[in-house]
Amino acid sequence: MQTEQELKQVVKDRYRKIAEQGKTENASSCCGATTPSNKVYNIMMDDYSATQGYVEDADLGLGCGLPTQFAKISKGDTVIDLGSGAGNDCFVARHETGAEGKVIGIDFTPIMIQKALENAERLGLNNVEFREGDIDDMPVNDAVADVVVSNCVLNLVPNKPKVIQEIYRVLKPGGHFSISDIVLVGELPEELRTDAEMYAGCVAGAIQKDDYLQAIQEAGFESITIQKEKTIDIPDDILVKYLNTDALAAFKAGNTGIFSITVYAEKPGVKTPKIKLNMADLGSSHACAPGSGCC
């Protein structure tokens, strides 16, 4: 397997190509990044179409869950979306935060940032911004987010504990995250585990479910909860690219499981209440006069 930087470049190149192709092609492949299966159905993604704030043009069919559905986003929250792609989860989050909130999408693929900015401009959303950068070294200050969301992205980063530590850093005390991701129970065959295409396809980069949850706990998070879990089945016409007949039969008969999980966790601390001051309600006699000390 390649170095961290080489793996990142594989993912960046693959997702640049994904941004240039259609949603149907993405949805019929393994997380959008492998050669499409001839069975045209969605392997990992969940259906967003009934979700408020959903923008079809921003949905490239790359997710493996609906983290915003479980993220407990409130009006006025600041939300960060890791691996924001063309902006779909950001726009769903913006529906929940309202005009008084703020949403920041982070992605390391320039064409994805471009597509997301175009979508935001077309929608007239001036409190949604997109920043180019790595999610294991976020271009965000400490303790700025009330909520962090992500959809099938952490498995693409070689150093997952570092990403989780970054999430802890950017969350406010009392803040929380809801993240959908791919995890394993049991070992993948070597042919899948070491293949760059399967890494970019959200499979080879997945780690053991127990290790994933342990990294969250070791970062200092509390109230760790699996909000949703579903089994991912990779079609045979994709697997036969990597496994011979005997290896394929052994894999399907074995105990290895590939799962999409949506995980929730909280950063310890007390959340600072949001205070909205309506000066009209104070009346003129309560205006902040010089020297009064009220400001």
What pLDDT was estimated at residue 287?
38
Residues 178-234: pLDDT tens digits?
A: 999 999 999 988 888 887 777 777 788 899 999 999 999 999 999 999 999 999 888
Question: What pLDDT does 289 receive?
Answer: 41
| Tokens at 82, concatenated | 């890791």
What pLDDT, on the 0 to 100 scale, is given for residue 185? Answer: 95
Which structure tokens are listed for 23?
Answer: 């949603």
In this prediction, residue 198 carries a pLDDT of 79
pLDDT in tens, the chain (295 residues): 578 787 887 777 877 787 776 555 544 444 444 444 433 224 666 777 777 777 777 777 778 889 999 999 999 999 999 999 999 999 999 999 999 999 999 999 999 999 999 999 999 999 999 999 999 999 999 999 999 999 999 988 989 999 999 999 999 999 999 999 999 999 988 888 887 777 777 788 899 999 999 999 999 999 999 999 999 888 888 888 889 999 999 988 888 999 999 999 999 999 887 765 443 433 433 334 444 444 4
Q: Dihedral sign, CA of 176, 180, 185, 189? A: negative
Q: What is the pLDDT of residue 115?
A: 93
DSSP of 45-77: PPP-TTSTT--GGG--S--SS-HHHHS---TT-
**Amino acid 214: pLDDT:** 97
Q: Hey, how many other C-beta atoms are within 10 angstroms of the C-beta on 111?
A: 16
In which region does residue 14 sit, left (phi positive, over 0), alpha (psi from -120 to 50) or beta (all else)? Answer: alpha
Tell me how far apart the alpha carbons of residues 46 and 228 are, in angstroms, rounded to a whole number. Answer: 12
Residue 277 pLDDT:
40
Question: Which domains does the chain possess?
Answer: 4-266 (3.40.50.150)
pLDDT of 194 reads: 82
**What pLDDT is attached to residue 55?**
72
pLDDT at 168: 98
Residue 201 has what pLDDT? 73
pLDDT of the residue at 275: 61
